[in-house]
Amino acid sequence: MEIVVGKLSGFCFGVENAVKKANEILENRQAICLGELVHNRQVIEKLEKKGLKTVENIEAVPDNQNIIIRAHGIAKEVYEQAKKRNITVNDFTCPKVLAIHKIAERENKNSYIFLIGDKKHPEIIGTASFCGENMDVIQEKEELDQAIENFKKSGINRLYVIAQTTFSMEKFEAYADFISDKLKEYDVTINNTICDSTRLRQEEVEKMSKTVEYMIIIGGKNSANTQKLYNIAIKNCPSIHIQTKDDLNIEEIKKYNKIGISAGASTPKESIEEVVEMLERI
């Protein structure tokens, strides 16, 4: 059996940075994180053993406490609540997400904003709060017509388009083409804010899944970027999305001679190595 492991598998910079800094804090004291630090159960469980507590909203945090902000970021009003209640914020939001927040705050003064991404994802929920009132969150292509109508009715002549850092590159490009075609007479700026790590992983999986017989995508079930890698792979060859090696069907894998492996941006190196070792034993 030939095993091909993607060169870009595993932690991206934003996740590695958040996990590293959280571990540094936990060396000295327990800590409260607002939402899951990263979307990987194995990583979270290790941090919990060191004293990390996860809460879903700031109301659950006592006044005058310290909190950690997850890699996906939070809404603008949460920062304001923390300041009012004298809560110290250790902000481990991915720098690329923070950069999008700044873009949204800058552009909402003179532009209508289209924010493209998964509506329920914490990154989108956080970013939307920086976009002002004149905006639409767009997840599916079918929503574009209504968003364009909303923009036209707003009386604002400038449109600014941004995206979730982990959104599908293929979908974003299709949406961008549609918007450009429909709004030729308007001032439209399309800023592809999908991060390089996401884009390059998607490109790698696209190529790999066309050259192997079976793809294994490793990462949390609630990880948006991991799910998108799986969606790309499954179009080209039989594929599976697993969280750990225990999710593998060995009998199924034995049918194939060339296996490709990739992993999401929140997947630790150990999880990838464990899958590789299991395959090598077959």
Indicate the average pLDDT of the chain: 96
pTM beyond 0.85, yes or no = yes
pLDDT, tens only, 125-138: 999 999 999 999 99
- Give the rounded percent of residues in the chain with a pLDDT score beyond 90: 97
Q: How many CB atoms lie within 10 A of CB 221?
A: 13
pLDDT, tens only, 121-173: 999 999 999 999 999 999 999 999 999 999 999 999 999 999 999 999 999 99
Residue 282 has pLDDT above 90, yes or no: no
Residue 114 has pLDDT above 90, yes or no: yes
Q: Is 273 helix (H, G, I), strand (E, B) or coil?
A: helix
For the sheet with 239-242, list strands across it: 2-5, 258-263, 214-218, 239-242
By CB atoms closer than 10 A (0-12, 13-18, 19+), residue 205 is buried
- Of residues 94, 96, 139, 142, the one with CA closest to residue 120: 139
Taking residues 51-71, report their average pLDDT.
Answer: 94
Known catalytic residues? 123
Integer Rg of the chain from CA: 20
Could you give the residue ranges of the DSSP H alpha helices within 8-143? 13-26, 41-49, 76-84, 95-107, 122-128
Please report the pLDDT score of residue 190 as a whole number.
98
